[in-house]
Amino acid sequence: MLHYLKVWGASARYSMVRTLMFRGDFFVWSLVELFWMSVNLLLVAVIYRHTTNVAGWSKYEMMLLVGTSMLIQRFLMGFFWSSIFEMGRNVRTGNFDFFLAQPGNIMFMATTRKLDPDSLINSAVALSVVIYSARQLGLHPGFGEVALYAGLVFCGLVIHYSILVLSVSAVFWLTSAQGVEGGYFTLTEFSRLPREAFKGVTNVLFVWLLPVVVVSNAPARVLLHGFEVRWALWLAGLAALWFALAVFVFHRGLRRYASASS
């Protein structure tokens, strides 16, 4: 683990140096992401000008949920997004050979090579939304609840990461993963909605089969209602299951990779 931590640290330093070389690009993308987050929060404010609750959730409960969803997404975008989507292009061009030649786990090397500091900076904004909403609700979570919240956010990050790796791994069979980005953002739209808003088929699909709703609802419920064993165990189990599936599919895809010499 120490070896991989050193490798990741070297990648982080490279990403920071690269960001400092293109400060304008960093500044613009930071503003774009901040604008996108602001639009989502303004949407909540507009909706609650016309109603007092949505599916039983008050205004600041909804803002806490949206803030949690944005926090997970900012971590995903900051730590993994560029590397995972670059992987699809590398497989098509044969540049994926670079990762095969490295002395380490291929999946780790291919999905953690680049960081996006602009997304990581905006994760502080998302966290501020969560803290502000909790204060407006008069919540005073203890250390255990805060730790559990962080653990469930991590589980949500693992699930998002696994879904992306699974989607992009299709390039090993289809030679193209175009459309994955749009599909992913469509799915994440549901993570900003309360679980109670889903009924029937949508409840089964987006809550239990594709856990895009649970990843944000479970951590938010810890702050709102305290420790709930069912939600914590369910999210942790889903994280382990989806990660194992991503590892399996990725390594099955590697068997089909023909390399640049083909």
**Predicted pLDDT of residue 177:** 60
Q: How many whole angstroms separate alpha carbon 157 and alpha carbon 159?
A: 5
188 Cβ neighbours under 8 A, 6+ residues apart: 69, 73, 160, 212
**pLDDT tens, residue order, the chain (262 aa):** 788 888 888 888 888 887 777 777 778 878 888 888 888 888 888 988 888 888 888 899 999 999 999 999 999 988 998 888 888 788 877 788 888 887 778 899 888 888 888 888 889 999 999 999 999 999 888 888 999 999 999 999 999 999 889 888 888 887 666 666 666 777 777 778 888 878 888 777 777 777 888 888 899 999 988 887 888 888 899 999 999 999 999 999 888 887 655 5
Contact at 8 Å (CB) between 116 and 12? no
Amino acid at 232: A
pLDDT at 7: 81
> Which DSSP symbol is given to 211?
T
C-alpha to C-alpha distance for 219 and 223, rounded to whole angstroms:
7
pLDDT of amino acid 29: 77
- Cβ contact 250:161 at 8 Å: no
CB–CB of 165/84 below 8 Å? Answer: yes
**Residues 43/147, Cβ–Cβ less than 8 Å:** no
Q: What is the pLDDT of residue 180?
A: 65
In degrees to the nearest 10, what's the CA dihedral of 164, 169, 171, 173? -140
Q: Provide the 10 A C-beta neighbour count for residue 169.
A: 24
pLDDT at 8: 84
pTM comes to: 0.88
Q: Which residues contact 59 (CB under 8 A, 6 or more apart)?
A: 44, 45, 48, 52
- According to the model, what pLDDT value does residue 189 have? 75
Per the CB < 8 A criterion, the answer to whether 234 and 214 are in contact is yes
| pLDDT for the residue 96 | 83
Yes or no: say if 215 and 159 are a contact pair by the CB < 8 Å rule.
yes
CA-angle at 27, arms to 191 and 132, nearest 5°: 45
